[in-house]
Amino acid sequence: MKFLKILCFVALVGMMSATAVKADSAPGDPKLLLSKPGDPVCPPPSGADYMCFSDNSPTDPIFIPALNTPFEFVWDGSTALTELWTSFTAGPAGTVYTCGSVDIFDTAPCTQYSTGVPNLLGIVFFGSTTDSLTPGQGVTGVLEGPEPGSMVLLLSMGLPAIGFARKRWNVGQSA
């Protein structure tokens, strides 16, 4: 029985290790994700929930206003946009942000940049002549918030279960 207890303890420690928790190779949270919406038009019709923009640079980025809320915007410039500059309100100090895209700006990396404004972070997406925003093309940006960590979920359910199992074990041993 003692061997079985030790084996269970080793298995539990193994499940809670950083390697096992991140075994799915999921990227870090939070993440700014871009994707293409339908075919919006500029100027937006009355009541539309997207905006049109024709200027985009490190000093005039697209601002993603809310966490976990898709924000649609349409490039209304005269030429293809090969770099998309975005900004958002920073989270707690030390938060690491990642970025990614679906269907657009996915041939080159995206990277974080300094906006020069306190509590405001930026991410720039790079494209190419074949992977860019054409005039009238829309993009949806979502700043996905952090999900509860696997370790927290395991501990929130695992520790009570271990305590209950130990209590049952002790009752069984005394009977």
pLDDT tens-digit map of 69-116 = 889 999 998 899 999 999 998 887 778 888 888 888 878 888 999 888
Please indicate, yes or no, if residue 166 is contained in any of the structural domains: no
139 class by beta-carbon count within 10 Å (0-12 exposed, 13-18 middle, 19+ buried): buried
Annotate 108-160 with three-state secondary structure.
CCEEEEECCCCCEEEEEEECECCECECCCCEEEEEEECCCCCHHHHHHHHHHH
Q: What is the mean pLDDT of the chain?
A: 78
Q: Is residue 75 part of a domain?
A: yes
Residues 8-43: pLDDT tens digits? 666 666 665 544 454 444 445 678 888 877 778 888
- Res 48 pLDDT > 50: yes
Q: What's 45's DSSP letter? A: P
Residue whose tokens read 């905006």: 51
The pLDDT score that the predictor gives to residue 27 is: 44
pLDDT at residue 25 in the model: 47
Contact 34, 141 (CB under 8 A): yes
Q: Residue 152 domain-assigned?
A: no
Strands 31-35 and 138-144: antiparallel
Nearest to 66 by CA among 145, 152, 174, 169: 145
Query: pLDDT per residue over 125-170, tens digit each?
Result: 998 878 888 888 888 888 887 655 555 555 666 666 676 667 777 7
Please check whether residue 158 lies inside any domain of the structure. no
pTM over 0.85: no
Task: Indicate whether 46 belongs to any domain.
Answer: no
Q: Is residue 82 part of a domain?
A: yes
Question: Quick check: is 122 in a domain?
Answer: yes
Q: How many domains does the chain have?
A: 1
* Domain assignment of residue 81, yes or no: yes
Find the domain containing 96 and state its range.
Answer: 26-32+69-146
